[in-house]
Chains A and B, each alone.
Chain A
Amino acid sequence: MHAIRASVALVAAAAAVLTSACAPSATPVTTGGGSAPAAAGEKTVLTLGSWRTEDLAMWEDEILPAFEKSHPNIDVKFAATNTNEYNAAIQSQVDGGTGPDLITCRPYDVNRSWIKKGYFEKLDGKPMLDSFEPLALDPWSDDAGSRYCLPTAAVLAGFYYNKDIFAELGLQVPTTQEEFLAVLKKIKDNGKYTPLAVGSSESWQLAYNGLYSIGPVYWKGEEGRQGLIKGTKKVTDPDFQKAFEAFAAWKPYLPKGFESLKYPDMTQLFTLGKAAILPDGSWNINQVAVDGLNVGVFGPPTDVAGGERYLQEMPDMAIGVSAASKNKAAAEEFLAWTATPEFLELYVNKLPGFFSMAKQPVTYTNALAQSFADLKNGAKLTPRLGLDRLSAGTPPFDDEVWRVLQLMLNEDLSAQKATEELQKGLASWYTPQQ
């Protein structure tokens, strides 16, 4: 009535364990699949586990039929679980000896723990790996560098801007931090529009679309990120502090009452034409352009004119073959297909905002997606700072970054104090930083 019992969730989890333990293998070799009972005896049925319930129609109607056309002996079923419950569901299923044949892989630490538990087949030496750069494969590898999942898609982060407002105020797209701040100041001085559509109520996006997007130029992308992971760099180093200072410089340009504005409020502020710039992820492409707004996109500013450009490319998902699968050969066949341009082009164009991680360039039919993809050219790519290894303990680095960024905007916590707090939290459990 008033509330859920915490134990209700446990009931669900316990029930999942019970049923998965009692149920026969969840990977039936021959089932009818509903439509064609005559051919049922021939087909190998695979299940593909995923956390994206919203993609069901796309997989069932577009992608899987394309695969089954060229592979008539394999029938793939898309089996999605709610995003928030996906990790726990997969864990209880696979631990119980069942689960899907193909597991969608979370990046970094979650997947690393799954690799450790032996959930996946090793992919080392398989030709399908050749379609990807090491940076794209690393999020799904173990400490020894063995590969377990094949990358499907990544998301990017940048700045959407309202072209009409820029034209009205006579503004140029900024390329350096100095120009960026000058543009913000001009919009503010004009007074008609909010310069930055940013609210701090949802702290995740302060990190993912804010600091992790504008910061790599200061901590030099992979150099700084790997340095933190290896323990050769500290969050309190000047490179990182400068990044936090660049983030703090946003504060004067936020809308009123930003402390309680949520992510949808930000998008709305921008799409209503009341704000000029929206720092956001590529996944929001459809929403920002929904009102026929004249939208462009630019990448994070460089430190100095002509300096190196950096762009956040966040590996979002990959697919691996379950070690418990009874149809590994068929599952590998499907996996190899996901590395082909046929699949990638189908996938990224059905889901604008998601980008292929393969070496071979892919054409995007969505103009905004194409200009987002163009930002990758000549830029150094780097994933989100806090998600690899640094968040596999308590306190998780990533969660702490969210928290201190929110405090920087809401309570004027200084960049120095923020980085000191982060370093202290990290050093409390992360051995390379001790």
Chain B
Amino acid sequence: MNRAHYRYFLAFTLPALAVYVVFAALPLVNSIWYSLYDTDSGVARFVGLENYVYLFTNPTTSERFWNALTNNLEFFAIHLLVEVPLGLLLAALLTSGRLRRSTGLYRTLLFIPTTLSVVIVGFVWRLIINPLWGLVDFPLLGDERTALPTISLMSVWQYVGIPMIFLYAALLAVPNDVLEAARVEGSGAWSTFWRVKFPLIAPQFGLIAILTYIWTFNGFDLVFALNGSAPGPNYSTDILGTLFYRTFFGSSGQLSDLDLGATVASVIFLIILVVTAAYFGLLHRRLRSYEL
């Protein structure tokens, strides 16, 4: 690359970089900065890690935090175990060639919920499972044991289109001659999929799994739309996003605490950062990508 190329390179990257720095990187640093201060008295006072110590040692805040983290893990696990495999199954069916001309129709239908607003999804599902007006007699959202799985499955229903379309695109990229060769060798559909197709899309499969992790740990909207900022019953649907919102903005019975809110946000950031970094550092590199 010569000098002129570098200049173009800069000209095209700088605007995006500037926007990213001002609206994403700086506020992130700023919020970490906030978490090291105490502003409750009206004057900002540097307190080091005191907010973090408080978050993890105060019996109530730590109980709420661990509760939200556990719920978030469950929320993630349901997505990982249901949404991602279901997306893979749908993508495999769409590319199997059995659907012929209706592929486009199914692809569109399955993807539509993803484009809906969470408020609509929450509202419609709440009506469907409402014990008074709906189809289910059991108060699914009112029972501590079933509330979180119910919300998670609503979210899975809505977003299954994303892993599907992602893996569908990856499967389409598998060259036909490889599949042809497999067929000539006498491999059936099942073993072709697991021994030929899946290894070829494994990096994408890993990527969608880690993206699901990031999305669910940043999750907030559906829970908030359904259950507000103190998601019950008995905080059984509270996840890290709603915990952050409640801490930062306050709720009817709780004062807003900007510093502690920033602390919660920083901890969420850290949780996501560590796992994502570990995934890319340890696992993703080992997934071989084949030159075809």
Contact = CB atoms under 8 A, between A and B. Distances in A.
Contacts of A402: 230, 232, 253
Contacts of A95: 39, 42
Contacts of A258: 139, 142
Given A7-B269, A11-B24, A255-B132, A88 B256 contact: yes
Given A395-B60, A410-B233, A7 B28 contact: yes
Contact of B142 (A15, A259, A394, A395): A259
Nearest to A84: B249
Nearest to A2: B215
A286 interface: no
Interface stretch (A70-78, A112-120, A147-155, A336-344): A112-120
B219 A261 contact: no
A57 B108 CA distance: 42
A121 B270 CA distance: 42
Interface string A287-300: 00000000000000
Contact of A399 (B42, B215, B253): B253
A6 B249 contact: no
A67 interface: no
A396 B27 CA distance: 29
Interface string A92-122: 0001000000000000011001001110000
Given A4-B241, A14-B31, A258-B142, A9 B131 contact: no
Nearest to B127: A265
Nearest to B268: A6
Contacts of A265: 130, 132-133
Interface in A1-44: 1-7, 9-11, 13-15
A406 interface: yes
A411 B230 CA distance: 18
Contacts of A117: 41-42
B53 to A, nearest CB: 14
Nearest to B58: A394
A7 B265 contact: yes
Interface stretch (A131-139, A160-168, A201-209, A354-362): A201-209
Contact of A260 (B42, B59, B140, B258): B140
Contacts of A255: 132
A257 interface: yes
Interface in B191-237: 215-216, 218-221, 227-230, 232-235
B141 A201 contact: yes
A10 B248 contact: yes
Interface residues of A, number: 60
Contact of B258 (A13, A200, A204, A399): A13
B265 A3 contact: no
A257 B132 contact: yes
Contact of A14 (B27, B40, B142): B27
A202 to B, nearest CB: 7
A203 B28 CA distance: 34
A411 B142 CA distance: 11
Nearest to A425: B60
Given A386-B253, A395-B60, A260 B130 contact: yes
A257 B142 contact: yes
A81 B145 CA distance: 37
Contacts of B143: 259-260, 410
B162 interface: yes
B171 interface: no
Interface string A387-426: 1000110111111011100110011000000000000010
B69 interface: no
A256 B133 CA distance: 11
B264 to A, nearest CB: 7
Nearest to B251: A399
Contact of B232 (A87, A118, A203): A203
A85 B250 CA distance: 9
A9 B245 contact: yes
A11 B132 contact: no
A91 interface: yes
A135 to B, nearest CB: 21
Contacts of A198: none
Select the residue from B28, B253, B255 with max chain A CB neighbours within 10 A.
B253
A28 to B, nearest CB: 26
A412 to B, nearest CB: 13
Interface in B16-58: 23-24, 26-28, 30-31, 34, 39-42, 58
B289 interface: no
A97 to B, nearest CB: 12
Given A10-B27, A13-B248, A425-B60, A392 B255 contact: yes
Interface of A: 1-7, 9-11, 13-15, 84-85, 87-88, 91, 95, 109-110, 113, 116-118, 199-204, 255-262, 265, 269, 386-387, 391-392, 394-399, 401-403, 406-407, 410-411, 425, 428
5 contacts: A6-B244, A201-B233, A394-B58, A394-B61, A399-B254
